Structure 1
Amino acid sequence: MSSAPNADHVATLTGLRGLAAVWVMLLHLWLLAGAPVLQVAGIDVTAPFATGYLGVDLFFVLSGFLLARPFLRWIDGFGGFPDLRTYIWRRALRVLPAFYVQLAILLVAARFADGVWPVDGLQLLAYLSMQFWLHPAMGGLLNGVWWTLPVEWNFYLLLPLLAWVLARARAWLVVMAVLLWVAAFRLAAYESLFSGVLIFGIPTEVYGAGMINQIVGRIDQFLAGLLAAWALLRLGARGVRFATPALLLGLLAMFAMVLDLHLNGSVIERGRVPLLFWHHTLTGAALACVVFGAAAGAPLAQRLFGGRVIGFLGAISYSLYLWHAVVFQVAHDTGFVHWPPAAGLGRLALWLVPVVLAVSWLSYRVVERPFVQLAHR
C-alpha cells in the first residue's frame, strides 16, 4: 500500500471550490432576473443556471474529501490520530470569523432599517453555535444561504467519530449502514412533509424538506468525498491511471442529472419518488468521481479547473458564497433589478457581479485570510 501525494492544496480542487460558489451565485442571479429562458444560437442553455444549487453538493463532497485525509492516513497507518483540539480550532477559525462578521453587519443593518433587532437572545445563540437548524422558531434566516453552514459544521463534529468507526468496522458495512440510514430518513421525512404525519412529535415544517437537506439527510455526500480520498490514498501514484475515466464518468453523470432536474424539476420540492430517497447519494457519487479525477491529476481537470481566474474564485469562494446573496437581496429590495439599464440577466451580471467580487475579496483579505494564517500557525 503506497501513500498518495498530498492533495490538500491541489489547484484543481481550489478551482472546483470556485466553480461551486459561482454555480450557486449564477442560480441566484438567474432567479433575481426573473428566471428567464436563456438561449444561445437557438439552443436552450437555461439548465446550468436553474440547477445551480448543485454547487452546494459539490461543496459537501469537497469537504468530505479534504477534511477526511488526516483521519484516513491514521486508519491506514501513516500517522497518529489527528489532535482534535487543533482540528476543531482550525475549523472554527476557517468558517466562524467570516460568518460572525457578516452576522454582526446584518444585525446592525436590520436594527437601523427597522428600528428593532431581528433576532432574540435564543435565536442569536442558535446562530453563534451554528445550530440554528434546530431552533423551531428561527423563521427566515438573515441570509438565505446560511442553511448550509450547520450542515458543514456538524460534519466537522461528526468526522472524528466516523473515522473511529471506519477504523474498527468493515468499511463496506459502514457505507451500507449510512446508505440505509439516509434512505430510511428521507422516506420518513417525505411521509412527514407530504402526508402531514408527525415523526417523533416534530412539526412537519421542521422535519420535512429542510431536514432532508441537513447533515442527518446528507451525510452520504460527505461520505462520498471521504471514499474518493481513501481510494486516492490507497492507490497512490497508480491513481493517475483512473483520473481521466473517473472525471469523465462524473462529468457525464452530472450532465445527465442537470438535464433531468431542468426538465422534470427539483427532486425534493416535487417529491419525486423513489428518486428522492437516492438523489443526494447519486449526486455525491458523481461529484466524488469528479473530485477524484481532479485530485489524481487528470489533464482535462487541469484545463477546466486549474486556471488562475477560477483559482482566484476558489480562494474567495467562502466569502463569495456568503456575500453574493446579500448583494442580490439589496438589489432586489431597492428596486435596482427594475432599473432599465440593469434589467435582464446580462445587464444585471455586469452591474452586480463586480460588486460581489469586490465585497468577497475584501471579506477574504480582511477577515478570512488572517484567521486562516493564524490557524496554520
Structure 2
Amino acid sequence: MLIRFQSGSVRLLQGRELTNSKLQLDALDGLRGLAVFLVFLSHTSLRGDNLIPYADFSGFGKSGVFLFFVLSAFLLTKPFLIRNAEEITLRFIVNYGFRRFLRIYPLYVIYLAVALVLTAVVPELFGNKSRAYPLPLDFSGYFRHLILQEGRGVTWSIPVEFSYYFLLPLIALTYSLLLKNRIVPCTIFTLLLIFVSQYFWPQAESLVNDIRVRSYLPIFFLGSFLAVLHHQTTSGEMVWSKESKTLIEASGIAAILLLFLMIPTVTSLFVEGGVSNNIFHKQFIIYGVLWSVVLYASICGRGWLQRFFELRLVRYFGFISFSFYLFHAPVLDLIYSQVDVPGVLYPWLVLLICVAFSHVSWILLEKPLSRMKLKS
C-alpha cells in the first residue's frame, strides 16, 4: 500500500476529522502519534528486538498511554469551556456521549468479536497449543469487556478512558459555569481533586494494568485543567510575551528530557545495579505533569515543538493511533510465532503490517464515524 503525503494525494490529513474544526490543533494529532509509537517501541523492545538499534524502550509504553489520557481530557474538556450556560443543552451533552461512543465502540466491538471467534477457531485449525488472537476470549469475557468490567492485554486502557468520559462533563462544567474559567479558582479546584483522589486511592496502591479510572484520575484532571489554561490563552485573558513563550518552549523541551531519563534503560545508566522496567509505572502524577507541560509547550510556545508535531508523517500516526494501538500486540504475537525472519526485521515487519491495517481501518470505519453527530 502506497500512502502519499503530498498535496493532491490521499487527503488523510486535510479535514478536521478528530476534533471540531474550531478547536482543531494539528500538533495534538502528532502528540497522539507519539503516544502510540512509544507503546509500540516498548512492546517490540520487550520482545528483545529494538525498532531503533540500541534504543531499548522496555517499560516505557505506559508513558504513551498516559499521554493518551492527558490528550483525551484536554480535547474533550475544551468544547465545554467555550460555551455559555444557554448553550450547554441536553442535546449538547447527548451529542458528546454519542460521539465518544462512536469513537471507541465500533472498532472495539469488532476487535472483541474477532477475539471471540478466533479463540474458538484457531485451536481447532492449528491444534490446542496455538494461541488465540488478538486475545483468548469467551462469551462471558466478551460481555464483561463490552460493559467495561474487564480489560485484558492492551484493552485495559479502554475502561479507564471511557469511564472518565462520564465524569468529564461535571469537571468541565464546574470549570466553565461555576468557576468561570478563572485560573486561580480552577487551579485550586484541580489541586483539591488530585488531593482527594490520592487520599482515597493512592497511586502506589493501583493494580497492574488497573481498569479502574480512580487510579489514573490525577492524569485526567491535569489534562482537563490544561484545557482551561489554553482557553484563557486563546481568549486573550492571558497574553504571553515572546520571552514567556520561549520559557514555555524551554519547559516543554526540559519535560521531554526528563521523560527520556525515565526510560528504565536510561535510568539504569545512573543507578548501580540498574532498575526494573516497571519502576515508574505508578508515577501517574509525574507523568501527568510532564506530559501536560509538553502538550502546552507544543501549542503555546515559540513553535519549535509545534512544527515537529505538525509534520504530516507524525500526524498520520495520530490519525491511525487507535486501531494501531489495538492491533499491534496481536500482530506482534502472530509474526513472532509464525514468521521466520532475521530478528532485526521483526519490528519493521510488524510496523508495516500494522500501518497498512490501521490505514484501512481509519479510511473505512473510523474516519466516516468521526464525522457523525446528532442533528440540531
TM-score higher than 0.5: yes
**What SS does the corresponding residue of 2:23 show, helix, strand or coil?**
coil
Q: Distance in 2 between matches of 1:255 and 1:25?
A: 20
Could you say if the C-alpha distance between residues 126 and 8 of structure 1 is closer, same or farther in structure 2, counting changes exceeding 3 Å? farther
* Match of residue 130, structure 1, among 113, 132, 148: 148
Tell me by how many angstroms 1:250 deviates: 2.8
Could you say if the C-alpha distance between residues 240 and 313 of structure 1 is closer, same or farther in structure 2, counting changes exceeding 3 Å? farther
> After alignment, is 245-254 or 361-370 more displaced?
245-254
Q: What is residue 208 of structure 1 aligned with on the other side?
A: 207
Question: Per-residue displacement from partner, 1:161-219 (whole Å, max 9, x unpaired)?
Answer: 222444446434432322223333454863xxxxxxxxxxxxxxxx63444x7410111
Q: Distance in 2 between matches of 1:70 and 1:221?
A: 19
Residue pair 1:221, 1:284 contacting (<8 A) in 2 also:
yes
Aligned residue runs from structure 1 range 1-377, under 5 A: 8-33=23-48, 38-39=53-54, 45-46=55-56, 48=57, 50-74=59-83, 77=84, 80-81=87-88, 83-115=92-124, 118-132=136-150, 141=152, 144-166=153-175, 167-168=177-178, 170-187=185-202, 190=205, 208-211=207-210, 214-236=212-234, 237=236, 238=239, 241=242, 242-262=244-264, 263=267, 265=275, 269-270=278-279, 279-296=283-300, 298-334=302-338, 336=339, 339=340, 341-344=341-344, 347-375=345-373
Two-structure CA RMSD over aligned residues (Å): 3.0
Residue pair 2:194, 2:221 contacting (<8 A) in 1 also:
no
**What SS does the corresponding residue of 1:132 show, helix, strand or coil?**
coil
Q: What is residue 137 of structure 1 aligned with on the other side?
A: none
Question: Per-residue displacement from partner, 1:18-76 (whole Å, max 9, x unpaired)?
Answer: 1111111111111123579954xxxxx43x565232111111111111000122224xx
Tell me by how many angstroms 1:303 deviates: 2.5
Give the TM-score normalised by the residue count of structure 2: 0.77
Residue type at the aligned position of 1:124: Y
**What SS does the corresponding residue of 2:24 show, helix, strand or coil?**
coil
Tell me by how many angstroms 1:249 deviates: 1.1
Could you say if the C-alpha distance between residues 260 and 94 of structure 1 is closer, same or farther in structure 2, counting changes exceeding 3 Å? closer
Q: Distance in 2 between matches of 1:366 and 1:208?
A: 36
Residue pair 2:172, 2:224 contacting (<8 A) in 1 also:
no
Question: Per-residue displacement from partner, 1:53-100 (whole Å, max 9, x unpaired)?
Answer: 2111111111111000122224xx486225211110010011111111
Higher helix fraction (1 or 2): 1
Q: Distance in 2 between matches of 1:188 and 1:226?
A: 19
Give the TM-score normalised by the residue count of structure 1: 0.77
Could you say if the C-alpha distance between residues 183 and 98 of structure 1 is closer, same or farther in structure 2, counting changes exceeding 3 Å? same
> After alignment, is 298-307 or 308-317 more displaced?
298-307
Q: Distance in 1 between matches of 2:249 and 2:155?
A: 30
Tell me by how many angstroms 1:302 deviates: 2.9
Q: What is residue 194 of structure 1 aligned with on the other side?
A: none
**What SS does the corresponding residue of 2:82 show, helix, strand or coil?**
helix
Question: Per-residue displacement from partner, 1:99-143 (whole Å, max 9, x unpaired)?
Answer: 11111112111210135995444422221123325xxxxxxx2xx
Residue type at the aligned position of 1:16: L
Could you say if the C-alpha distance between residues 16 and 73 of structure 1 is closer, same or farther in structure 2, counting changes exceeding 3 Å? same
Could you say if the C-alpha distance between residues 66 and 330 of structure 1 is closer, same or farther in structure 2, counting changes exceeding 3 Å? same
Structure 2: give runs of 5+ residues left out of the alignment. 1-19, 180-184, 269-274
